[in-house]
Amino acid sequence: MRKIFNRLLLGIFSSQLFLVREASAHCPLCTIGAGAVAVGASFLGVKDIVSGIFIGAFAAALGLWSAKLIKKRFIRFQNEIIAVAIFFLTVLPVSQIVRSYLPLYIDWGGAYGSIFNRTYIFNALLVGSLVGALIMLISPRLSQKLKAKSGRSFPFQTMTIIFLLLIVAGIILQLTATSY
């Protein structure tokens, strides 16, 4: 049954690659790549915050790419609303399944329990997904600036920059985060 499901899923993803008319900064290739890295990271046993980075990048790419599929404008900020909705509709259910939390102790003054002297708890996957989404949003702009500065770009430059930044952020958080 699992083999049939995997073949069906692969067929759906590969058919989407051939139906796309134009590539953009958030094309199906970037979206599938980010999703594959997220699944691979969880199989390798990395921390939940690192998996969250890749899940957030996948959700942001999926949202940005899906928003461009609707050509007609119905409301103002339609693409942004769709992208944010798809991001949260992808990340929030997963963050409720993966219950991993990060403590953040702030000791800026006052008695313990006051707003500036308290331990705050964050969902590790949710924090990681916000970092991944941020990387996914700034990477195309960074690629454009590099292209403008050098006057040329190399093949798959934007995708390479996205994956490089995601991997660097993942390594940093894997080595430093104290998620459980």
pLDDT by residue (tens digit) across 128-169?
A: 999 999 999 999 889 889 888 888 878 888 888 899 999 999
The average pLDDT across 41-60 equals: 85
CA torsion sign, 144 to 146 to 148 to 154? negative
Q: Place 1 in a pLDDT band, splitting at 50, 70 and 90.
A: low
Q: Is residue 39 predicted with pLDDT exceeding 80?
A: no
Distances (CA, A) of 30 to 15, 17, 36, 58, 166: 15, 11, 10, 8, 12
The tally of CA atoms less than 13 A away on the side-chain side of residue 92 is 6
Pick the more confident residue, 14 or 166: 166
Chain centroid to Cα 28, Å, comes to: 14
Q: Are 51 and 128 in contact (CB under 8 A)?
A: yes
The pLDDT of residue 88? 92
The pLDDT of residue 128? 92
Highest mean pLDDT among 5-14, 16-25, 26-35, 162-171: 162-171
Q: Is residue 34 predicted with pLDDT exceeding 70?
A: no
The pLDDT of residue 96? 80
Distance CA 128, CA 145 (A): 26
Q: Is residue 21 predicted with pLDDT exceeding 50?
A: no
